[in-house]
Amino acid sequence: MMKPLLGFPNALALLGTLFLVLLARVLAADAPPTFHEKWRPQFHFTPVDTWMNDPNGMVFYEGEYHLFYQNNPFGNRWGHMSWGHAISRDLAHWEHLPLALAEEDGVMIFSGSVVVDWKNTSGFGKEGRPPLVALYTGHYTKRPLQNQHLAYSNDKGRTWTKFAGNPVLDLKMADFRDPKALWHEPTSRWVMTVALPKEAKVHFYASPDLKRWDYVGEFGGAGATNGLWECPDLFPLPVEGGGSKWVLVVNINPGGPAGGSGCQYFVGEFDGKRFVADRTTHSRTSEPLWADWGRDFYAAVSWSDIPRRDGRRLLLGWMSNWEYANDVPTFPWRSAMTVPRDLVLRQTPAGHRLLQRPVRELNRLRDGGGSVRRTTVAEANGWLARRPVPLGLAELELHLDQVPGSGVLALECRHGKSGNTRIEADFKAGTLRIDRTRSGPSDFSTAFAGVHMAPLRIINGKLDLRLLLDTSSVEVFAQGGETVLTDLILPESPDLQLSLVATGAAGNVRVDSVSLWPLRPAPSVLGNSKP
Ligand code: FRU
């Protein structure tokens, strides 16, 4: 006689185990986010447990930096676009607030901006307090239409009312989006920059009250045009050493410098109607200017209404790329923002260039740390070898004097036993690269693994590099922020060990200084809706 495979008690045990596994699954799906999940960034903004893309409506008001963002409140893939909301007082720690603007009646809330209407030109203000006014794109899900809408808040952005007279600007186009508003002081009126993605151009509109908008000019046909123009921004920016110029930021997808999504900018003059790009740098045939050469920097726009006494122009971008954003294997949330960056222009022999630096507020996350000065690569390496970073959160600064004409100096970031991300300065080629082919898993998308490259300008024989490493990203700022690369990485282990690897003439390079700071996590908190 055949023996039964499972006796009664065994079958019962198996059923019991199955039940427990199922129960664990259900509980895990419902488990509150811990913010310590694998690859959860510890000092970059992430949504709690849903999908995020573009930053939206960034505005400073009464001590709070607002960050709204493209959000699917129902899942961790793109869909049901609405505005998620968070605030920060120090640009490092974030408090999550309830959804600000929800999809309604077949109209999704696409990207846009928020301004403080200080003079109450819109009339939405209450009790002598200026309203916050949001300008966003209504995306119609049942017909091919996008147009511009208003909403306002009288309680520091906690609750929003959609304007009864929406839309406020309608060209009856299927692709017309991402309005960014600014108060143009010289002409005393509002200016909106908005994208016509398929025509690779932006329009400028002017308004006395944020409600009636008149076309005043447009800009296009320059820089990178081989993709959709999205999420534009326009602002005046100081030049190091004096003066200021206007910067027009235009995100483009695809067609970015590392493939897929990218962020380009133009420098020039704006008179309230027309933007005229500097001729030396922006003829039709000139190379585009890229704000970031990495694979994961998109939809970057700046904060509005930073007080004049502060005077900074701060910007951040979505740290992903449409080529694989929906597939990055993080749960329950998906996507992060870059760190906020402080902008300024630098006059170079080739024209004005954007400099980006992590905001100084992030220095407060430095936990101990130290430096070694005037040394060799070998000695600097010995010093680094004694400084592993167990949580993988680190900032590194490297200064080199008398950079050789050839050779490669690589900064190797080893993750645990097997992972490794390399940042390589190639002095002969004049390039800076991030190689994430061996950082960690990339099987979720064939587009993910790769080496991403930027031109590197050696200034007076010197090179400086600054690196910010979080659990799943690396941001590299070279030459005071003239060349920037941002890449997602997915190391299997949080253990981080940095070292320098020199080949050829780079072996004899003089290291002016190396500094390494382990960084403290900046946990976000779940807030409530009260101001
Ligand atoms: C850019 C973008 C915007 C649009 C939004 C929709 O990433 O395509 O143009 O408003 O995302 O989520």
Does ligand 1 lie within 6 Å of residue 297's CB atom? no
137-150 mean pLDDT = 98
Q: Which of 232, 469, 210 is nearest to 358 (CA)?
A: 469
Phi-psi region of 387 (alpha: psi -120 to 50; beta: other; left: phi over 0): beta
End-to-end CA distance of the chain: 76
In the reported structure, the alpha carbon of residue 322 is separated from the centroid of ligand 1 by a whole-number distance in angstroms of 10
Assess contact for 179 and 135: CB atoms under 8 A: yes
Distance CA 479, CA 462 (A): 8
pLDDT at residue 173 in the model: 98
The two tokens of residue 481 are 């922020």
Is-above-0.85 flag for pTM? yes
Residue 279, pLDDT score: 76
* 122, pLDDT greater than 70: yes
Q: What is the CATH number that goes with domain 366-518?
A: 2.60.120.560
> What is the pLDDT, as a whole number, of residue 466?
98
Would you say residue 529 has pLDDT above 70? no
Q: Is pLDDT of 271 > 60? A: yes
Instruction: List pLDDT tens digits, range 480-527.
Output: 999 999 999 999 999 999 999 999 999 999 999 999 999 999 999 998
Q: Kindly report, residue by residue over 341-371, the tens digit of the pLDDT.
A: 999 999 999 999 999 999 999 999 999 999 9
Mutational pocket test of ligand 1: of 50, 68, 70, 82, the residue with most ligand atoms within 8 Å of the beta carbon? 70
> What is the per-residue pLDDT for 1?
35
Confidence category of residue 16, pLDDT binned at 50, 70, 90 = low
d(CA 337, CA 52): 9
Q: Which atom of ligand 1 is nearest to the CA of 111?
A: 10
pLDDT given at position 348: 95
Predicted pLDDT of residue 208: 98
- Predicted pLDDT at 21: 42
Q: How many H helices and E strands in the chain? A: 2, 34
What is the Cα 174 distance to its own chain's centre? 26
Torsion over CA: 418, 424, 426, 429 (sign): positive
The pLDDT-based confidence of 32 (bands split at 50, 70, 90) is: confident
* Closest Cα to atom 8 of ligand 1: 230
Please answer whether residues 452 and 485 qualify as being in contact, where contact means their C-beta atoms are separated by less than 8 angstroms: yes
DSSP collapsed to 3 states, 274-323: CEEECCCCCCCCCCCEECCCCCCCEEEEECECCCCCCCCEEEEEECCCCC
Residue 336 in this model has a pLDDT that exceeds 80 = yes
Give the Cα separation of 252 and 229 in Å (integer).
Answer: 5
Element (H, E) at 381: helix 377-385
CA distance 433 to 419: 17
8-30+46-357: which CATH architecture?
5 Propeller (2.115)
Query: For residue 27, what pLDDT band results from cuts at 50, 70 and 90?
Result: very low
Q: Which atom of ligand 1 lies closest to the CA of 261?
A: 7
Q: Which residue has the least CA distance to atom 6 on ligand 1?
A: 110
Q: Residue 68: beta bridge partners?
A: 56, 85
pLDDT (average), residues 389-404? 96
Across the range 262-267, mean pLDDT stands at: 97
Q: Which ranges in the chain are annotated with CATH 2.115.10.20? A: 8-30+46-357
Per-residue model confidence as pLDDT tens digits over 168-222: 999 999 999 999 999 999 999 999 999 999 999 999 999 999 999 999 999 999 9
DSSP state of 340: P
Nearest alpha-carbon partner for 433 in 497, 478, 390: 478
Reading across the β-sheet that carries 313-318, which strands appear in turn?
298-302, 313-318, 341-348, 351-358
Q: What is the pLDDT of residues 86-97, one digit of tens each?
A: 999 999 999 999
- Per-residue pLDDT at 121: 98
Q: Which residues contact 147 (CB under 8 A, 6 or more apart)?
A: 137, 138, 167, 169, 170, 171, 172, 173, 176
The amino acid at residue 253 is N
Residue type, 357: R
- High-pLDDT (> 70) share of the chain, %: 92
pLDDT at 376 over 90: yes
Check pocket membership of 292 for ligand 1, CB cut-off 6 A.
no
Catalytic status, residue 54: yes
Nearest atom (ligand 1) to Cα of 78: 12
CA nearest 469: which of 442, 447, 500, 497? 497
CATH 2.60.120.560 domain position(s) in the chain: 366-518
222 vs 3: CA distance, rounded Å: 79
- pLDDT for residue 37 is more than 70: yes
**Mean pLDDT (the chain, rounded):** 94
Measure 348 CA to ligand 1 centroid, in angstroms.
33
Ligand 1 centroid from CA 391, angstroms: 33
Radius of gyration of the chain (CA): 25
pLDDT of residue 3: 39
Q: What are phi and psi of 10, to 5 degrees?
A: -65, -45
pLDDT of the residue at 11: 56
Confidence band (pLDDT; 50, 70, 90) for 34? confident
C-alpha closest to that of 299 among 312, 318, 286: 318
- The encoded tokens of residue 250 equal 């235009």
Confidence of residue 528 (pLDDT cuts 50, 70, 90): confident
* Torsion sign across C-alpha atoms 141, 143, 148, 152: negative
- State which of 178, 318, 335 you would mutate to test the pocket of ligand 1, scoring each by most atoms of that ligand within 8 A of its C-beta: 178
